[in-house]
Structure 1
Amino acid sequence: MSHPGTLILIMAAAVLAPLLAHAAGRWIRIPLVIFEIALGILIGPDLLGWARPDAVVDTLSHLGLAMLIFLAGYEIDFAAVRGDTLRRSVAAWLISLAAGLGIASLLSDGTGALVIGTALTSTALGTVLPILRDSGDLRGRFGTVTLAFGAVGEFGPIIAMALLLSGRGAGESAALLAGFAAVTAGAVFWALRPRPPWFSRVVAQTLHSSGQFAVRFVMLLLVSMLALSAVFGLDALLGAFAAGVLTRLVLAGAAPAQSAEILGRIEAMGFGFLVPLFFVVTGIEFDLDALLDGGRELLLVPVFLTLFLLVRGLPVHLLAPRDLRGADRRALALYAATCLPLVVAITAIGVGEKVLDPGEAAALVGAAMVSVLVLPPAALRLRAREGAASARAERGEGPESW
C-alpha cells in the first residue's frame, strides 16, 4: 500500500485508540498507548498486512519519538527536583545500570549485553506523564519526585546509548558528549538571560494569529538541538530532551503569562498527531513472528518484565525520599519500572547494528508493552488507596473502621 493509504490507516488507528480507551475505562483503566500499539500490530504485516511503513512514515515516526522526549524534557522543573531528590534519583539509576549490565551479561554477550542492560534501566517518562496529568498527580510532591526519577531514567539511558552503543571508543564518545554538553550549557545560559521587550510583545500579539511566533520559535529550538546532536554524532533523543529543557527556560523568562497556552499548542501537535503516529508505527514494526516462533523468546517476556521491576523499580523504591509513605514508594517504583519508547529505540539500534537478536528485541519490547499495561494501573490503585487512607485518617477514623 502506498504511504498515503498507510498514513490514513495509522491516523484512523490513532483516532480509534482514545475511543477504545474511553470505552474500556468503564471497567478498567488501560493506558492509551496500549491501544495505539495494539492497533498498529493489528494492521501491520504480521496480522492483517494492511500497513507497511515507508520512508515518509518512518520519518514522521522518528519526529513523534523526538516530540515525546521533547515534551518530557519540558516537564522537568529543575528548581523542584534538585537537591536530595535529584541525588537519590541519580544514585538509583547508577545502581540500575550496574545491575542491568551485570544481569544482561548472563543473557547475552558483547554489545548485545550492553543493549539489553541499558534498556533495563529506562523509564517511560513521556508515557507516564499523561497518566500523572490525567490522575491529578502531576502537580504535587509525588508528581515532583516521579518527574525527578523519571527524568533521570529517561536521560540516563540516552547518555549511556551515546557512550556505550555509538560504536566509537569510550574516549571519543566522552569527548563528543562533553562538547555537546558545553554547547548546551551555553544555550542554557542564553535561555536564562532576559529576553528583549519586543520578544514578549511579538509572542503575545501573534499567539492568536497565523504568525504563531512562539510555536515556530519552539520548533526552531527543537530542530536546532536535533541538528546539534547529529553534528556531534549523538542520538537525536539527547537533542530532543535538551530542547524541551531549553524551551521551558525561555518561555518561563520571556512569556510566563502565555507559556501554558503555548505548551498546549505544542502538546496538541505532539499528542494529536506525531506521538500517536510513533506508537502506532511501533506496533506495525513489532516483530510478532519472531516473538511467537521461538519458545525462548516468548519465555523471555516475563523474565524481562521481572527484570524491569528488579533492576529499575527496586533501587527506586529503596532510594525514594524519606517523606514518601509505603504505598507512594511502591507506586513510584512501579512508575519508574514502566518503560517503552527508549526500549524501542535502544533495541532498534541493537537490531540495526546486528548485535541483538530480533527475537530478543521483540521480547524486550513485548515486556515493555506489558509494563505499560499493568504497572501504571497498579500504581494508580496504590495511590488511590493511600489517598483514601489519608482521608479517613484526617476524619479521625481508625483502622478498625476501614
Structure 2
Amino acid sequence: MSYPGTLILIMAIAVLAPLIAYAVGRWVPVPVAVFEILLGVLVGPEVLGWTHRDQVIDVLSHLGLSMLIFLAGYEIEFAAVRGDTLRRAVGAWLVTLALALGFAFALTGGTADKSFVIGTALTSTALGAVLPILRDTQALRGRFGTVVMAFGAVGEFGPIIAMAVLLSGRSAGRSAVVLLVFAAITAAAVVWALRPRPPWFSTVIAKTLHTSGQFAVRFVMLLLACMLGLSSAFGLDSLLGAFAAGLLTRLVLVGAAPEHSTDVLARIEAMGFGFLVPVFFTVTGIEFDLSALLHGGRPLLLLPVFLLLFLLLRGTPAYLLAPRDLSRRDRVPLALYCATCLPLVVAITTIGVDDGSLGTSEAAALVGAAILSVLIFPLVALRLRAGGGMSAQRSAEVSESW
C-alpha cells in the first residue's frame, strides 16, 4: 500500500483503538497503546498484509516516539519525590539494572550488545500507564501515590540514561564523559528555565493561546527540537534529548505562565496522543514479528520468562527498598506498578532492532511480555488495594473509567 493509504489506515486505527479501549474498559482496564499495537499487527505484513514500511511513515513514527518520551519527561515532578524516597527509588533501580544485565548476559550467552538492550528494557516502568489509575483512585496525592511517582519516575529516567551509556557504541568511560557534558548543558538550561521570565513572555502566551499564533506551543516545539539537536550533536540517543526537553518545558511553563500551563500542555498532548504517538505504536505493531511467536521455539518460551523477569527484577527491589513508612499492604501493589512497562520497552527494542544488536524475534518476545504486563499487573495491584481498603464499588468505577 502506498504512503497515503498506509497513513489513512494508521489514523483509522488511531480512531478505532480508543473506542475498543472504552468498550473493554467496562470489564478490564487496558491502555489504548495495547490496541494500537494489536491492530497494527493485524493490518501488517504478518497477518492481512495491508501495510508495509515506508520512509515517510518511519519518520512520523520516530517523531511519535520522541513526543512520547517528551511527554513522559513532562509528567515527572521531581520536586514532589525528592529526599529519602527518591534515594530509595534510585537504589532499587540500580539493583534492578545490575540484576537485569546479569540475567541478560546469561540469556544471550554473553553477547554484550544484545544483553545491554534486553537488560535495559527489563528496568523500565510505564509511569504513563500507572498515573491514570492513581488519579482515579484519588491516591496520587497521598503517600502511596508519591512513592509510586518516585519509583516510576526513576523507572523512566534511568533506562534513558542507561541507553545513552550502554547503547551508544562508545566505551563506558567516553560515554560517561559525553553524558556529563550533556548533563552540564542541560543543568545550565534548567537554571535558565528557573529564572523569572520577562512580563511580555506570559502576556504573549495568554494573547496567542486561542489564536493561530500559538506562541507557547511553538516555543515548546522549538525547545524540543533544540534538545533533540543537542543530543544528536553529542552522539546520544534522541530519547535523552526528548526527555530533557519535557523536564525543561514543565519548569518554563509552570514558572512563566502557571495559569496557562495546563491549556498549553493540553494542546501538546493533543498533537502527540492525537496524531504522532498512535503512529509510533501502530507502526510498532506493523513491524511486530508475530510469526516468530506463533511458530514456537525460543521466542515463545522467552515471552513468559521476560514477563516473570519484569516482576522479579523490577518489582522485588521496589518491594524491599520501599520507604519504611509504606505499609506492607501497599508494597505489593508498588512492586506490580513498577513492573508495569510498555512504551520504553518498545522504544528500546526498536533501537536494538534498528542497529542490528537485537533480533526481531527477541524484540517480539519483549514487547509481547510488556503488553501482558500492562494487562495484568495494574489490574492485580488495583484489586489488592481495593481489597485492603478501597470499596468494591469504587474499584469497579475506577476500572470502568481507565
Contact preservation (8 Å) 1:69, 1:126: no
Deviations 1:138-183 (CA, angstroms, capped at 9, x unpaired): 3433332222111111111111111111111112111110111011
Alignment CA distance shift 1:274-1:127 (3 Å) = farther
Question: TM-score if structure 1 supplies the norm length?
Answer: 0.93
Moved more, 195-204 or 129-138: 129-138
Task: Give the match for residue 38 of structure 2.
Answer: 38
Q: CA deviation at 1:70?
A: 1.1
Flag structure 1 segments of 5+ consecutive residues without an equivalent: 392-402
Task: Give the match for residue 257 of structure 1.
Answer: 259
AA paired with 1:7? Answer: L
Question: TM-score if structure 2 supplies the norm length?
Answer: 0.93
Deviations 1:202-224 (CA, angstroms, capped at 9, x unpaired): 11111111111111111111111
- Pair 1:86-2:86 in alignment: yes
CA distance in 2, matches of 1:287, 1:131: 31
Give the secondary-structure state (helix, strand or coil) at the position aligned to 1:177: helix
Task: Give the match for residue 15 of structure 1.
Answer: 15
1:108-123 pair list within 5 angstroms: 108=108, 109-111=110-112, 112-123=114-125
- Pair 1:275-2:277 in alignment: yes
Moved more, 341-350 or 218-227: 341-350
Contact preservation (8 Å) 1:125, 1:151: yes
CA distance in 1, matches of 2:129, 2:233: 28
Task: Give the match for residue 198 of structure 1.
Answer: 200
Give the secondary-structure state (helix, strand or coil) at the position aligned to 1:388: coil
Alignment CA distance shift 1:90-1:217 (3 Å) = same
Alignment CA distance shift 1:42-1:343 (3 Å) = same
CA distance in 2, matches of 1:275, 1:132: 22
Contact preservation (8 Å) 1:33, 1:127: no
CA distance in 1, matches of 2:390, 2:136: 18
Q: CA deviation at 1:198?
A: 0.5
Task: Give the match for residue 66 of structure 1.
Answer: 66
Specify which of 143, 147, 163 is matched with residue 145 of structure 1. 147
CA distance in 2, matches of 1:141, 1:50: 48
Contact preservation (8 Å) 2:42, 2:286: yes
Q: CA deviation at 1:131?
A: 4.2
Moved more, 370-379 or 192-201: 370-379
Q: Percent identity?
A: 72
Moved more, 91-100 or 57-66: 57-66
1:315-330 pair list within 5 angstroms: 315-330=317-332
CA distance in 1, matches of 2:22, 2:385: 21
Deviations 1:327-382 (CA, angstroms, capped at 9, x unpaired): 32222211111112222222223233333232222111111111111112222222
Deviations 1:312-332 (CA, angstroms, capped at 9, x unpaired): 111011112223223322222
CA distance in 2, matches of 1:10, 1:383: 37
Contact preservation (8 Å) 2:288, 2:360: no
Deviations 1:265-291 (CA, angstroms, capped at 9, x unpaired): 111111211222211111111111122
Task: Give the match for residue 365 of structure 1.
Answer: 367
Deviations 1:209-251 (CA, angstroms, capped at 9, x unpaired): 1111111111111111111111111111111111111011111
Contact preservation (8 Å) 1:118, 1:160: yes
Q: CA deviation at 1:113?
A: 1.6
Q: CA RMSD in A?
A: 1.9
CA distance in 1, matches of 2:43, 2:139: 34
Deviations 1:10-45 (CA, angstroms, capped at 9, x unpaired): 111111111111111222222222111111111111
Contact preservation (8 Å) 2:29, 2:375: no
Alignment CA distance shift 1:32-1:159 (3 Å) = same
CA distance in 2, matches of 1:265, 1:323: 39
CA distance in 1, matches of 2:138, 2:55: 39
CA distance in 1, matches of 2:140, 2:235: 34
Task: Give the match for residue 185 of structure 1.
Answer: 187
Give the secondary-structure state (helix, strand or coil) at the position aligned to 1:122: coil
CA distance in 2, matches of 1:384, 1:271: 30
Moved more, 80-89 or 373-382: 373-382
CA distance in 2, matches of 1:167, 1:227: 19
Alignment CA distance shift 1:267-1:132 (3 Å) = farther
Q: CA deviation at 1:390?
A: 12
Q: CA deviation at 1:387?
A: 3.6
1:2-401 pair list within 5 angstroms: 2-108=2-108, 109-111=110-112, 112-388=114-390
Alignment CA distance shift 1:191-1:243 (3 Å) = same
Contact preservation (8 Å) 2:227, 2:245: yes
